[in-house]
Chain A
Amino acid sequence: MRETLFILGVNHRTAPVAVRERLAYAEDEIVAALVRLKESAPAINEVALISTCNRVEIMGVTAVGTRVQDEAAEFLAGDRGVGVAAFGPALYHHEARAAVRHLFRVGASLDSMVVGEPQILGQLKNAYARAAAAGTAGLVLHRAFHKAFSVAKRVRKATLIGHGSVSVSSAAVSLAAKIFDTLANKTVMLIGAGQMAELTARNLKRLGIQSLLITSRTFENAVALARKLDGTAVPFDSFRPYLKLADVVIGSLSAVEPVIGPEEFEGVIRERRYRPVFMIDLGVPRNFDHRLNELENVYLYDIDDLSAVVQESIGDREREAEKAESIVDLEVESFLKWLDGLDLVPAIKDIRTSVEQLRELELERHRAWLASLGPGERERIESMTRGLVNKLLHRILSGIRDGRAGIPDSVYAAEIARRLFSAELAIEGGVLIDDDSDEDDEP
Chain B
Amino acid sequence: MNTVWLIPALACYALSAAGFAMERAGLHGRFARWAVLLLGGGALLQTGDLLMRGIQAGNVPVTNFAQALVFLAWLTALAGLVVIVHLRMPVIGVYVAPIVFIVVTLQAATMRQTRLTMPQSLRSAWLPVHVTLALLGYALFVLAAGVSLVYLVYEKRLKAKRPLRPTDERTPSLEKLDRINYRLLGWGFLMLSLAIVTGSIWADATWGRFWSWEPAESWTLIIWFLYAGLLESRLTVGWRGRRAAALTIAVFTVLVGSFVGVSLMAPGKHGGNFG
Q: Report A's interface with B, CB cutoff 8 A.
A: 160, 163-165, 171, 174-175, 177-182, 272-276, 293, 296-297, 299, 301, 305, 308-309, 312-313, 316, 320
Contact = CB atoms under 8 A, between A and B. Distances in A.
Interface stretch (B59-67, B98-106, B158-166): B158-166
Given A164-B166, A174-B164, A305-B161, A181 B176 contact: yes
A178 B241 contact: no
Given A178-B168, A275-B238, A301 B176 contact: no
Contact of A276 (B154, B166, B175, B239): B175
11 contacts: A163-B169, A165-B164, A175-B158, A175-B163, A179-B173, A182-B175, A273-B238, A276-B174, A296-B242, A297-B241, A320-B166
Task: Select the residue from B165, B168, B175, B243 with max chain A CB neighbours within 10 A.
Answer: B175
Contacts of B241: 274, 276, 296-297
A181 B173 contact: yes
A297 B161 contact: no
Nearest to B175: A181
Contact of B166 (A163, A293, A305): A163
B172 interface: yes
Interface of B: 154, 158-159, 161-166, 168-169, 171-176, 179, 237-243
Nearest to A302: B161
Given A163-B169, A165-B164, A309-B163, A179 B238 contact: no
A274 B163 CA distance: 21
Considering the complex of A and B, which 9 residue pairs feature the smallest CB-CB distances, nearest first?
Answer: A273-B238, A181-B176, A181-B175, A297-B241, A160-B166, A305-B161, A181-B173, A274-B238, A180-B175
Contacts of A165: 164
A293 B159 contact: yes
A299 B158 CA distance: 7
Contact of B161 (A163, A164, A182, A308): A308
Given A308-B161, A309-B161, A181 B172 contact: yes
Nearest to A176: B173
Contacts of A171: 164
Nearest to A179: B174
Contact of B174 (A178, A272, A293, A312): A178
Nearest to A171: B164
